[in-house]
Amino acid sequence: MIRSFLFLAAASMSVGTTAADVQPDPAAAPARAFNPLEIDWSVSPASRDGHVQLRLSYRTRNGNSDNTRSYPVAQLRGFDAAATGPVAFRMASEAGSLDCIGVLRDRRGAGTCRFEPDARFAAELERRGVGRASSEQMYHMALGNVRLELLDELARLGYERPTVDNLVEAGIFGIDVPYVREMADSGYRVGSMRRLVEFRIHGVTADYVRGMAQSGYRDIAPERLVEFRIFGITPDFVRGMAEAGLRDLPGQRLVEFKIHGVTPEFVRGLAEAGYRDLTPAQLVEFRIHGVTPAFAREVNQSGLQRASASKLVEARILGRRIRRGD
């Protein structure tokens, strides 16, 4: 389930511009009316003290929208987790406000919410050329605390103008001004929200970029960074390979190693079995055909010292022992 993020109006007002500060251009189209959304909510205890597990859901034309996460009780204005009986609380962001009512008993409860999109925020999106947002898109931007300062930062860094759908994705995946700035400071102004979303989905962070740079991999192409994260290539993996004697490997070779299970432990095990200085291609071939350090030791213990790499592969393929003199 994709996680979404709810924010209080108080939290929104603590930094930057709020919905109340948005002043649409007088020349822009007048703010339009939105149909409010009816949202179901339920709450249960969370594993962390001072938190509750809040679920928000509603029916759409194509199915259901369902968002669940743990929240500090302090973020739900008016909510008393220890109450018994009727409860009301409110959440808001620049894109709109969510007013909820229901009943609590034994720290569990349920009820309904009414989401009111902020027409001024919507008008500002249109004025900036982002697009015309629906009530549902405004709801998801509100859950993700999408703010106008994100648009300002993207423009400052030379990004293409995002669409409404791009901003919805930004909210869902937690792309905010700090993340955009951190990636820019690490050398990655990737030009589009689509690429930032891809980075966020696969865990490309500024810390990861710095770690890879410290391991000798600087100025990695954005698509290669994503590939590295998909296959689990970490700074520790790179350092482990260097300590095993394999330094400055091409990016594609690192990916190939990960795909086939060539690990620093595998390389060291072969070296201990007498097979040092194998080429990267030979290491991959060994893994493909199941030539392990244990198999290499078994061959040596059979009386033939230091069989060639090709002979080990041949023996593994044919399933036979190497005889003395082979």
Residue 22 confidence (pLDDT): 44
Radius of gyration in angstroms for the set of CA atoms belonging to the chain, rounded to a whole number: 28
Q: Residue 246, class by beta-carbon neighbours within 10 Å (0-12 exposed, 13-18 middle, 19+ buried)?
A: buried
Residuewise pLDDT in 10s, the chain (326 residues): 333 333 333 333 233 333 334 444 444 445 567 888 999 999 999 999 989 999 999 987 777 889 998 888 888 999 998 899 999 999 989 999 999 999 999 999 999 999 999 999 999 999 999 999 999 999 999 999 999 999 999 999 999 999 999 999 999 999 999 999 999 999 999 999 999 999 999 999 999 999 999 999 999 999 999 999 999 999 999 999 999 999 999 999 999 999 999 999 999 999 999 899 999 999 999 999 999 999 988 887 765 557 889 989 988 888 755 554 44
Here the tokens at position 119 are 């027409």
| Cα–Cα dist 309/92, whole Å | 66
**How many other CB atoms are found less than 10 A from the CB of residue 136?**
16
Cα–Cα nearest to 145, from 11, 281, 321, 313? 11
How large is the angle between the packed helices 164-172 and 135-143, nearest 10 degrees?
Answer: 30
Pairing of strands 85-93, 63-72: unpaired
Give 304-308's long-range contacts (Cβ < 8 A, gap of 24+). 305/274, 306/274
Q: For residues 115 and 39, is the Cβ–Cβ distance under 8 A?
A: yes
User: What pLDDT score does 30 carry?
Assistant: 52
pLDDT of residue 200: 96
List, in sequence order, every beta strand (DSSP E) within 73-193. Answer: 85-93, 96-105, 108-117
- pTM, full prediction: 0.79
**Is residue 112 within 8 Å of 86, Cβ to Cβ?**
no
Report pLDDT for 31.
57
- On whether the CB atoms of residues 148 and 122 are closer than 8 A, the answer is no
DSSP SS3 for 91: strand
* Residue 264: per-residue pLDDT: 97
